[in-house]
Amino acid sequence: MKLPASARTLLRLVLLVQCAALLAVAWALWRHGVPPWAALAAAFLAVALVRLAINMNNFAMAGRVNGTGSGVPPERRLGLRAWARMLAEEFGASMMTSSWHIPRGRARMAVYPDSVHVPVLLVHGYGCNSGFWARLTPLLDRAGISHAGVDLEPVAGSIDDYVPLIEAAVAALCAATGAPRVTIVAHSMGGLAARAWMRTHGDARLARLITLGTPHHGTALARFGPGENAVQMRRGSAWLRVLAASESAAARGRIVSIYTVHDNIVAPSDSGHLAGARNVALTGVGHVALGSNPRVLAEVLRQLPELHGEAA
């Protein structure tokens, strides 16, 4: 089956399917004598439990991959309470992102002429759009940091096809702000797309690339995803090897890789560690929650360079 070109359309279709399933379950319960409101509540709970089971299965699959010896160090393993807290946060983040932010998300630009920071381009990951940044953009607005988003489409296309979109967004942000460089903040596949943009267009207009949960060396779970981009993100893919071979030490030095050792999508978790980059490994955060976790957002803001210090 061919996927829609945009994540917005895709997630709206998924929501329709979930609503249809919810109503079907509620109707069946009502036919068996359950009061209407109780039937609706039970049906909503059933759909939520299915979504929770998907999240738990992702953690289980990632855990099996990490169990091969290239995953979570013993000193970073979580207790039951911390693991449950992480699961709850990841479940809430994935529900809000896929059911609210992405179906409504559209790329936008905000320019603050008096900002002391390098403007920020936000690049989302696989199966998402600019709605993923719903928790970061208000912080950028509050800090008066100019920023823009870009929607990578088609949703199942090649990562190389996203390079012109990023180039156009960089050019537009530089033109709107008058800044010679931008900082790119990218989640998951977006970090690979940004690195592909650097390979094609160089890093002269890049102050810093901050990646969140990017599978720099691929992820074993990509084999379950549709699309050419999922094939490119498979562990040890030829595309990833060519990308890595194209990068200079200077280019790697502009990258900050923030990743979580408990990632439920990128596995093994050490795929987030990129040689030559500044690596920040976090504990107790899931993959989607990287876009909303307060510790992660605080670290992103801390890494944003100022205009007078961008060369450093």
**What is the Cα–Cα distance from 124 to 27, expressed in whole angstroms?**
38
Any bridge partners for residue 186, and if so which?
A: 123, 211
Amino acid at 174: C
Residue 238 lies in domain: 1-312
**Strands 255-260 vs 206-212: parallel, antiparallel or unpaired:** parallel
Assess whether the previous peptide bond of 268 is cis (omega < 30° from 0). yes
Q: What's the confidence (pLDDT) of residue 312?
A: 42
Q: Environment class of residue 42 by beta-carbon count within 10 Å: exposed (0-12), middle (13-18) or buried (19+)?
A: middle
Instruction: Output phi, psi for 209, to 5 deg.
Output: -115, 115
Question: What is the enclosing helix (H) or strand (E) of 247?
Answer: none
Mean pLDDT of successive 10-residue segments in the chain (312 residues)? 87 96 96 95 96 96 76 79 96 97 96 96 98 98 98 97 98 97 98 98 97 98 96 96 96 97 94 97 97 98 85 44
CA 133 and chain centroid, separation: 9
CATH number of the domain enclosing 135: 3.40.50.1820
Q: What's the confidence (pLDDT) of residue 71?
A: 58
Q: What's the confidence (pLDDT) of residue 311?
A: 46
DSSP 119-187: PEEEE--TT--GGGGTTTHHHHHHTT--EEEE---STTS-GGGGHHHHHHHHHHHHHHH--S-EEEEEE
Closest CA to 152 of 181, 118, 194, 183: 194
H runs (alpha helix) in the chain = 7-31, 36-66, 80-96, 102-104, 137-142, 163-177, 189-201, 228-232, 238-245, 249-252, 294-303
Structural domain total, the chain: 1
Assess whether the previous peptide bond of 154 is cis (omega < 30° from 0). yes
